Amino acid sequence: NPNPNHDPRSAHFETIMSKDKYEQARAAGNLRFSYRAMQAALLINLYQEEPILNQASQLLRALVDIDELMTMWRQRHALMVHRMLGVKMGTG
């Protein structure tokens, strides 16, 4: 039974602002970046219009795009392999 007073955004904010909670979520496999890397990415995103952070912001967007494209490729490749090989014995 979900707690009606529990706001998921509030819990997420607490995770971002508390290093201990962040590390707990990371240890549980819910997050991949280190706490420091997450803070840097957040800072760059928040101040992306500032000239000093513009190139860093573009780099972050490009890395996210690459990650999304790689994820789509992996999914399509796994589907293609499954269609071609199915559940044949000895195929890994």
For residues 17 and 39, what is the distance between their CA atoms, to the nearest angstrom?
9
Q: Give the closest residue to 21 by CA, choosing from 2, 4, 38.
A: 38
Q: Mark 8-45 as b/e (b = at least 16 C-beta within 10 Å).
A: eeeeeeebbeeeeebeebbeeeebeeebeebeebeebe
Q: For the whole model, what pTM was predicted?
A: 0.64
For residues 33 and 44, what is the distance between their CA atoms, to the nearest angstrom?
15
Each residue's pLDDT tens digit, 27-78: 999 988 899 999 999 999 999 999 999 999 999 999 999 999 999 999 999 9
Reply yes or no on whether the pLDDT at 1 is more than 50: no
Cβ partners under 8 Å of residue 14, min gap 6 = 21
